[in-house]
């Protein structure tokens, strides 16, 4: 891969040198009823700059996509942990409720309603 990259860079360097040395005349662009005249090296330089900017944009987009993928993975992991903790807390609450019933007998209706109110308030 490194050899291919070096060969491609050498080819780009040779093409750049050829355009700069061999450019004799002006290039005329006729777009939208406007005429623009530029020399060969300027056209080449603008094309190279546009290519570099496009490569930079693709690189930044790739970094952003990777960051979003990692963030989604973290959120998925955090949600699983949260759900597991909620399940553990619910199981502990049931165990404590069963132990309290075993120790104190059946709870009164008022105690059960107040526990439900506390549980509903904690969920909010």
* pLDDT averaged over every residue in the chain: 81
> pTM of this prediction?
0.50
pLDDT above 70: residue 12: yes
Is 12 a domain residue?
Answer: no
Is 97 a domain residue?
Answer: yes
Range of the domain at 47: 18-123
Is 79 a domain residue?
Answer: yes
Is 11 a domain residue?
Answer: no
Written as six digits, the tokens of 113 are 């309603």
Residue 71 confidence class, pLDDT cut points 50, 70, 90: very high
pLDDT at 94: 94
Is 73 a domain residue?
Answer: yes
Is 7 a domain residue?
Answer: no
């Amino acid at each position: 891969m490194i050899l291919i990259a070096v060969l491609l860079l050498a080819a780009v360097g040779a093409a750049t040198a050829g355009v700069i040395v061999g450019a004799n005349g002006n290039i005329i662009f006729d777009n939208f009823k406007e005429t623009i005249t530029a020399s060969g090296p300027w056209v080449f330089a603008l094309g190279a700059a546009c290519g570099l900017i496009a490569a930079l944009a693709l690189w930044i987009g790739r970094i952003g996509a990777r960051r979003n993928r990692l963030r989604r993975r973290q959120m998925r992991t955090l949600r699983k942990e949260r759900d597991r903790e909620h399940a553990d807390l619910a199981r502990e609450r049931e165990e404590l409720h069963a132990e309290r019933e075993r120790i104190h007998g059946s709870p009164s209706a008022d105690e059960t309603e107040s526990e439900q109110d506390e549980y509903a308030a904690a969920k909010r």
